[in-house]
Amino acid sequence: MSVQLPDILSFCNVFNLRANKHCQCRAVSHASEKWLIDSGVLLPSGTEWSKAKVGLLVAACYPNTDATQLRLITDFLSLQLYRDEKAAASGECVGQGDSGYVRADIVSCAKGISPSQTPNLVTVLMRERNASLDSALVFAGTLIKQSADAFLEAEHEPLSSSDLGTDGEVQRYVLGLRDWIAGSVNWLYETQRFLGERESEVRTFGWVFVPVAQ
């Protein structure tokens, strides 16, 4: 069935996507993948792992890091992604309650919905609320919007404080959180992990065909 995904990009467009001046994301991704292979970590066959573009995720979320830091963080997030995929394959839930995983749950619906898949926010809403896929996606999108609004409200207090608002560490911390939100949201529409080669089309129009197994 064809559905329109919530416009996550518009919900989070207040968070500016910044470019990493040391961006070597493709080379970093390849180097990290080689490290994982050399370390004996089993990776998806063929080019599937490369399509995840983990280096791009890191470059988008950490715009101030140098090449060495990019590689270190890419290794860490690659291991985390591998762990999540292993857990999903065994039927375990991962990342419950984290808004980043909620956003991924929404976009990953493009890969299909089936009773045998690992539960995520959308499938749980469909089951617990007896909701259609469309309704579950709308509700999930509302949660993302509420989360973004709550962040903006929460960041106002420390930044407007006469003490904390001028503290460089606090300012950098808040900016880092903003970078992570902007980078991870945009990565969802760049990685081929969820949308295959349709990422540009889905970014523009939001429509996806979702295979639904009964």
Bigger pLDDT: 176 vs 103: 176
Strands 207-209 and 2-4: antiparallel
Closest CA to 59 of 196, 182, 208, 207: 182
DSSP helix/strand/coil, 99: helix
String of DSSP letters for 142-169: HHHHHHHHHHHHHHHHHHHSTTGGG-HH
Amino acid at site 88: A
Residue 60, pLDDT score: 92
d(CA 71, CA 57): 12
pLDDT digits (tens, 9 = 90+) for 142-153: 999 999 999 999
In whole angstroms, how far apart are CA 208 and each of 69, 115, 140? 36, 20, 16
109 DSSP assignment: G
Predicted model pTM:
0.83
Name the residue ranges covered by the structural domains of the chain: 2-209
Question: Does residue 114 register a pLDDT over 80?
Answer: no
Bigger pLDDT: 90 vs 103: 103
String of DSSP letters for 12-76: TTTS-----TT--HHHHHHHHHHHHHHTT----STTHHHHT-HHHHHHHH-TT--HHHHHHHHHH
Amino acid at site 40: G
Residue 116, pLDDT score: 67
Question: Does residue 130 register a pLDDT over 60?
Answer: yes
d(CA 46, CA 44): 7
Residue 87, pLDDT score: 73
Question: Does residue 50 register a pLDDT over 60?
Answer: yes
Query: 77 — phi, psi (to 5°)?
Result: -70, -30
Domain 2-209 has CATH 1.10.3720.10: no
